[in-house]
Structure 1
Amino acid sequence: MKNIRLSPLVSAILLTGYSSVTFAALGQNLSVDIRSLAMGNAVTADPPGISAIHFNPAALTKIEGLQTDVQGILADFNIEREFSVPAGYNVFGYSDDPIVCNDGPEVDADICTDFKGPVRGDVEYPSLYVPGLKKMVDLGKGMPVAAPTAGIAYNPPGSKMTFATAMYAPLIAGFGAEDGNPGNFMGQQVALERITYLSPSMAYQINDQLSIGGSIGMSYQALALKNDLRFPNELIGMLRMIDDVVCTPFKENSDVITDILLLGMCNAEEGMNPFGRFGQLELSAEQSLSPSYNLGVLWEPTEDFSFGVVYQSAAKMRMKGKYHIDNSKAPREMIKGLMSSPTGQILAAVLGFPNSVPASESGLVSMDLEYPAHFQAGIKYKLLP
């Protein structure tokens, strides 16, 4: 990400180390063609009809006359997420992580005495980002994601040229969960989609055995997420130790000397915890026009055998949108404590920390994202008539 105005939160995150969220392309080629999906999209040498625009534009030469195609695809994002801890799990000596520890408030210990088995944090419902509303919409528990596609192709009588265009979604995925789900730190709501709304295509039959083709995809790209934040690393564990051990005698008896020596950190009303919720981030970014192209070759010397290759280009994007962050009390109190001490103010100035962390903040965000290039080759061989 670049040019992202998150100065208060970024300053706080610098205290906690580096953390990132990784997204997987769960819905790649999900909403292009039903027949292709049933074959694992292994159709490079035998693309089905108008959907050849995406899988191998050269195969459009197999279309005769005028052809239209309308499909409706329903997808159930029943994603399972499971969490467990390794042997010796701890963060700076602390292991009382409420997500994986069974110990209740009656157990006054920093070390977990009863770890849970594998913890489930499954996805509870599908979500989609709606361009016009510029927000994520939950479809309800058990509801599928509906993804219609449509296309048209024309081969003039006696011509070796075929022209086509289609609307489809080469990438679409979205899911969400309710508050309190253990998986919310990996994404409470996530939506990732690429919708090709116009794809002018052309194919040329060089001879009876060989065809070439190309298409230009004009696509809409969007990314949206709502994510709980926490940073269970050693530095946050050390800050908890300072609050629990070093600051305990001075909580109600601080003075100028202790403020100077302890950088004001003991003045915080709530201390940092590596297993505590740091805040919540909501972000959405989109790009209305993201062009790419597909190039394909199809060689079919006999009716039983064919060989196809396709290159799908990358698409480099500069997506723009908005973010909103709700900061928890602990990081706000930590900065407030630093600002109450002259030595803490010096440390904050050296590290570039803000003078305060607001309860919430919002602003504009831009993101460099590249939809990756893809090359595929395939062989079709008909074993039986």
Structure 2
Amino acid sequence: MMRRLLIASAVAGTLSACWPAYAALTENLTTSVVAMAMGNAVTADPPGIASIHFNPAGLARLEGDSESIHNFVASIRTSASFKPGEGFDVGGWRDDPLSNTSTGPVRQIMYVPGYGMPGWRLPAVAVPGIGMSWNTPGSPWTFATDSYMAQAMSLDRTTDPNDPGQYQGRQEQIQRLVYAAPSVGYKYSDTLRFGVSVPIAHAAFVVDTNMRFPNELLGVFGQLQKGWCPEEGGNIIDVFGFGVCGGGKDGMVSPFKKAANMRLELTAPFDPTINFGVLWEPSPMFALGAVYQGGSKTHYTGNYVFTTEPMLRNFVRGMNASLLGPIAGAVLGFPSSIPAVQKGNMSATIPFPAHLQVGVKLKPVKYIQLNVDASYARWSDWDALRFQFDQSVKLLEVARLYGIPDSGKLVIPRGYKSVINFAYGLQLQPIERLTIRLGYEPRKTSIPADKIDLLAPLPDTKLRSAGIGFKLDKNTDINVTGSYLTGKYYTPANTSCNMNCNTFLNIIYNPYAGQDVRGDIHVRYFGFELNKRF
């Protein structure tokens, strides 16, 4: 029975390890050069064609035909260090090789729609895009489309094979690329405008991670093996029992050994949403704006690969080679063996949360403008994530002990929360052709402190931005922006049961059980935009 509890804990943890969160960190980071410079506080002063995302009512302010060519470069760096918590002990094991270590170099990867993962490790990710708008002179209607990255998170820790971060993401790529956004803005009057857009996105979700399962149960069982089994394996008494020693030396359990690797690659090639916007500008000195960005229950499809190390495979093989092991396993519905590699197709429904943002523009004098926005995103929709496999996953079969009757499905609780965030932007225009922009956005995370982990290293962060705009001539202007986002977290041992809880039956994945974890994240961003009116 203890063997089955051990493997059931490992399996349930395996599947729960793979689902990080977007949270507030990934929103609007590579969407608009002007908006980024203003701390994304632009709902009441939407920036040209990028109004498609921030407030489509702003399209009705455009006159004639125009084109916007934009490019962004962003680098994400995150690190974590591990220190044993007070009284560190995992079922009698105290020498964790990850104690007093730190994660190593982080780079970026990319997912190319229609191709997949090229395999490049990049110091930063470049995201080009182009937008166009059309307006007949004198018409209240403006039509437009744009391509942009709505959300992104990219991590690659594959440089160092011993990087302790490998147990919560060797590679991670989460992106939502809008490749078309048919939109329309309508000028109801000189002061009131409306707009609607339909962003059509390609979403990609890729996670590759090694796994280990340090919990009290596994540690206690490993100590039992050490006392019961000969060093080279084999125990004639054990053969007539449950096969505790039947896996030999490789089947000896340790809470600190690598147990498996999992790779998931999922996409949603066509996922439309809808944005509604309204803009009221009663005077040049004051404006109000609001946008509702509709969410969706994004349906992903793709493939999975589970690669199981000899520790678990040999352990199960030894159990089934004993007299009583197969009988107990058959009663509980456990597999007769675990393959070294199991692969297949899968699907998942992952909500893309709806988002509401309202803003005000104040322009007390001609050359100074202040924007303030408040936003709310329904990350509470991530109460649980639901996955469907094309076959019974052998590792998951042992989780039936925990009340999961169908080993081809899995529901993972997440427990994220919806928060309200504020953003601030200052715009100065010392001369007619030059605009200076400054932005500040303190971002509250949607991930509670007891849910944070290395796959979603998203604490509260602060975004600071600066940019300039320059008119080359009456029909052409350029915008340049640089920004820096940073945040830190400290998670004492046993406080986040997505990362470092050490309990007897912690089936939620905790590869750093009993460790105090300190981490940080830094995002550097540069954007360039060329706007041309015809």
Amino acid at match of 2:296: A
| Distance (Å, rounded) in 2 between the aligned partners of 1:297 and 1:347 | 65
**Match of residue 269 from structure 2:** 288
TM-score (norm 1): 0.87
Give the direction of change, closer, same or farther, for the CA distance of 1:294–1:320 in structure 2 (3 Å limit). Answer: same
Whether contact under 8 Å (2:268, 2:298) holds in the other structure is yes
| Distance (Å, rounded) in 2 between the aligned partners of 1:240 and 1:198 | 55
Whether 1:209 and 2:191 are equivalent positions in the alignment is: yes
Whether 1:171 and 2:151 are equivalent positions in the alignment is: yes
Of 169, 182, 200, which residue of structure 1 is paired with 2:182?
200
**Match of residue 20 from structure 2:** 23
Shift of 1:13: 4.9
Shift of 1:18: 3.5
Q: Secondary structure at the match of 1:126?
A: coil
Shift of 1:250: 9.3
Whether contact under 8 Å (1:135, 1:284) holds in the other structure is no
Whether contact under 8 Å (1:129, 1:137) holds in the other structure is no
Whether contact under 8 Å (2:196, 2:277) holds in the other structure is yes
Whether 1:304 and 2:285 are equivalent positions in the alignment is: yes
C-alpha distance after superposition, 1:54-104 (max 9, x if no partner):
00001111111111101110001122233333212221121211011xxxx
Whether contact under 8 Å (2:72, 2:127) holds in the other structure is yes
| Distance (Å, rounded) in 1 between the aligned partners of 2:318 and 2:311 | 10
Of 279, 282, 304, which residue of structure 2 is paired with 1:323?
304
Whether contact under 8 Å (1:168, 1:197) holds in the other structure is yes
Shift of 1:194: 0.7
Q: Secondary structure at the match of 1:69?
A: strand
Of 334, 343, 354, which residue of structure 1 is paired with 2:335?
354
Amino acid at match of 1:164: A
- Structure (1/2) with the larger strand percentage: 2
Give the direction of change, closer, same or farther, for the CA distance of 1:249–1:188 in structure 2 (3 Å limit). Answer: closer
Give the direction of change, closer, same or farther, for the CA distance of 1:349–1:238 in structure 2 (3 Å limit). Answer: farther
**Match of residue 160 from structure 1:** 140
Structure 1 segments of 4 or more deviating over 3 A? Answer: 10-13, 248-252
Shift of 1:136: 5.3
Of 153, 159, 167, which residue of structure 2 is paired with 1:185?
167
Whether contact under 8 Å (2:238, 2:322) holds in the other structure is no
TM-score (norm 2): 0.63
| Distance (Å, rounded) in 2 between the aligned partners of 1:327 and 1:133 | 28
| Distance (Å, rounded) in 1 between the aligned partners of 2:125 and 2:6 | 37
What 5-or-longer segments of structure 1 have no aligned partner? 1-9, 101-115
Deviates more, 1:52-61 or 1:173-182: 173-182
Q: Secondary structure at the match of 2:34?
A: helix
Whether contact under 8 Å (2:185, 2:193) holds in the other structure is yes
Whether contact under 8 Å (1:250, 1:266) holds in the other structure is no
What 5-or-longer segments of structure 2 have no aligned partner? 367-534
Of 234, 244, 253, which residue of structure 2 is paired with 1:265?
244
Question: In percent, how many aligned pairs have the same letter?
Answer: 34
**Match of residue 343 from structure 1:** 324
Give the direction of change, closer, same or farther, for the CA distance of 1:12–1:280 in structure 2 (3 Å limit). Answer: farther
**1:354-373 matched pairs, under 5 angstroms:** 354-373=335-354
| Distance (Å, rounded) in 2 between the aligned partners of 1:339 and 1:13 | 14
Whether contact under 8 Å (1:293, 1:313) holds in the other structure is yes
**Match of residue 62 from structure 1:** 61
Whether contact under 8 Å (1:220, 1:286) holds in the other structure is yes
| Distance (Å, rounded) in 2 between the aligned partners of 1:161 and 1:88 | 68
| Distance (Å, rounded) in 1 between the aligned partners of 2:294 and 2:349 | 17
Q: Secondary structure at the match of 2:240?
A: helix
Amino acid at match of 2:29: L
Amino acid at match of 2:114: G
**1:123-142 matched pairs, under 5 angstroms:** 123-135=105-117, 137-140=119-122
Give the direction of change, closer, same or farther, for the CA distance of 1:182–1:221 in structure 2 (3 Å limit). Answer: same
Shift of 1:38: 2.0
**Match of residue 474 from structure 2:** none
Aligned length: 354
Amino acid at match of 1:264: G
